[in-house]
Structure 1
Amino acid sequence: MALSREDVLAKANAICKNTLMETLDIEIIDFGDDFVLGKMPVTSKVHQPDGVLHGGATVALAETMGSFAAEILSDLGKVFIRGIEISANHLKSVRAGFVYAKATYLHKGRTTQLLEIRVTDDHDNLISLCKLTTIALPKSK
């Protein structure tokens, strides 16, 4: 029996317990055949000293969504996914609310995947544009 959408999201969020994703309150909120969408609250926990969203927290959100997107494509019984490169252009600052990261594929290879992650605010303003390269590595037998 296939899992419902709600079950998949609950399972994905449950594996984030006791990880950086839980520390930053990152939540996966939607997915499709070619995207994963997540959100993170912008609070003092993810601020720079001057009160705006830290770029490192933004990149952590982006890499989380990109990695989950790569995993959805893969046969996790045979491979595991690792990020091998990420780049980010931070375009606008945020002080409060939520940021949303939508990861979509630019390339879906068997070994490497290239994803674009658009990070937006509550008003759909582009905050950061990130690119993530992942690799699917065979699991040891």
Structure 2
Amino acid sequence: MDQIASSRTFLQAKLQASVSDPAAKFCSENVSPYLASILEELMSPVTGGFQGVRLLLEGEINTLCLGFPEGAGQEGLNQALGQMCQASLEECYQKVEVLTEQLQELRHRFKFSNSVRLIHCTQIDMQQVSSNQNQIKFIYIALRTSA
């Protein structure tokens, strides 16, 4: 059993010695120089999408604050909630979907295969931000009616 463990350790060290230096050299020459520009390309549409969500929800909250009468009570609360529509995030989603074209080069050059997953995860996060913002609106209205 000890012989198997020592053979495994020896083989692992031998493989690491033969692969480690070429892999590090390849990464430093072919990947590292491009990381900053890759992140910049990825973050531009993502930032634009989240900025769109923020502006959309900020506009909804401002409209709600200006349109909700002081001391309207439960009836006013129900009316305000009825008039409040779910923000359409479609335009914000489209800002992120630009990544589909931008990531084509990454797919071919670096074998990056999760562009669809990246886009969907970003859109899910945008929906979560919107959902959290809607909860804040409900709390705001409830506080105004109870005051």
- TM-score of the superposed pair, with normalisation by structure 1: 0.28
User: Whose relative contact order is higher, 1 or 2, with alpha carbons under 8 Å and at least 6 apart?
Assistant: 2
- TM-score of the superposed pair, with normalisation by structure 2: 0.28
Find the structure with the greater CA-based Rg.
2
**Greater helix percent: which structure?**
2
